Structure 1
Amino acid sequence: MTASMYILLLLAVVLANIPFLTPRWFGVLPLKQKRFGHHLLELLAGFVLTAALAYLLESRAGSVHEQGWEFYAVNLCLFLVFAFPGFVWRYFWHSRHQQ
């Protein structure tokens, strides 16, 4: 694996966990209360950003391979697995210690 692949994986882990670690909308706009729907939209945006960067890196390395829906379904599931630590911290660990 090349350094760009490691950076892409690290970026995917960070983008998957950021929605759960900050009370701000996309890390910029403050919200009174960030709901689960906000987290889902941020997760989707992080997935799209990661996929676009992966496509850009692949196109720079050579020809881009055609992918079916299965490839994107597996990548989305992997992105959700990356988001699991942030989800656990936000909904199970953090809320228990706030009370």
Structure 2
Amino acid sequence: MFSSAAVWLVVLIAVVAANLPFVNERVFAVGPKRSPKALAWRALELIVLWGLTLGIGFALEAHLGQRQPQGWEFYAAFACLFLTLAFPGFVWRYLRRH
């Protein structure tokens, strides 16, 4: 896999993972159905999926070559990007008139 394809794969996974807690009522998309699911569950899912996406990115980076060490700035920027990618799902769930 080329490095540019790996980058786009991680971005695609991040978009799907960031919006997943807001588009379904199941816990982690496979657990029991909770209707309505509390915001705390959605936040917990968002944090876990952030870590999972980060792990997939690190695995792809290690597969392509040597993994570079990252400082706290990288994790803060990735968390902000992940929250930005989650905004459409948040708007769809909480700000749209049903």
What TM-score do you get using the length of structure 1 for normalisation?
0.91
- The answer on 1:16 being equivalent to 2:25 is no
Secondary structure of the residue aligned to 1:26 is helix
Structure 1, residues 54-92: CA drift from partner, whole Å, max 9, x if none? 000111111111111111000000000000000000001
Report the counterpart of residue 84 of structure 2 in structure 1.
Answer: 81
Percent identity at matched positions? 45
What TM-score do you get using the length of structure 2 for normalisation?
0.92
Distance, in Å, in 2 between the alignment partners of 1:5 and 1:32 is: 35
Q: Which has the higher strand share?
A: 1
Unaligned runs of 5+ in 1: none
Unaligned runs of 5+ in 2: none
Equivalenced residue count is 95
Secondary structure of the residue aligned to 2:73 is helix
Secondary structure of the residue aligned to 1:54 is helix
Distance, in Å, in 1 between the alignment partners of 2:66 and 2:13 is: 23
Report the counterpart of residue 54 of structure 2 in structure 1.
Answer: 51
Which runs of at least 4 in structure 1 moved beyond 4 Å after TM superposition? none
